[in-house]
Every structure is written in structure tokens, then in C-alpha cells.
Amino acid sequence: MSTYGNKRDYPKIDFYHRRPNGTNHYCGSTTWSRTCREALARFPWKKRGFEPGSVSAYFTKVKS
């Protein structure tokens, strides 16, 4: 078992910040949350300078 336990076993979730002009900008990812909702709730967005409502989370699409 690694130092972080088994939290890295979840699917990868990417975070995107919605800019005022309507485009999305990649701002990070995690494998520490089981769901997108949980990932958004756990990440300290205010410390990073983002408003919580301006960030979206999506499961990473795997290229085949």
C-alpha cells in the first residue's frame, strides 16, 4: 500500500474553469474522489482563487 492509501484507485476526474468569455480552461485533476460531485466539494477552490460555481468536473475520457 502506498503512502496515500488506496485513494488513487478511482477514475481520473478533470477540473475546468469557466471563463467570462464562455470558454473552459483546464485547471487540474484528481483520482482521490469517487464522484465528480465529491471532487468539487473536497477541493479548496477559494484558496486557488476560483469561485466554486465557476469550476466543473468531468471524468477523463480514455482514448481508445
Q: Does 64 reside within a domain? A: no
pLDDT in tens, the chain (64 residues): 455 566 677 899 999 999 889 899 998 898 888 999 999 888 887 777 887 788 999 998 877 6
pLDDT of residue 64: 61
pLDDT of residue 6: 61
How many angstroms separate the Cα of 33 from the Cα of each of 15, 20, 40?
Answer: 12, 28, 9
pLDDT of residue 58: 93
CATH number at 16 reads: 3.10.20
Domain of residue 49 covers 7-59
- Considering its fold, how many domains does the chain have in total? 1
> 49: alpha, beta or left, given left = phi > 0 and alpha = psi -120 to 50?
left
Q: Does 2 reside within a domain? A: no
Q: Does 1 reside within a domain? A: no
Q: Does 50 reside within a domain? A: yes
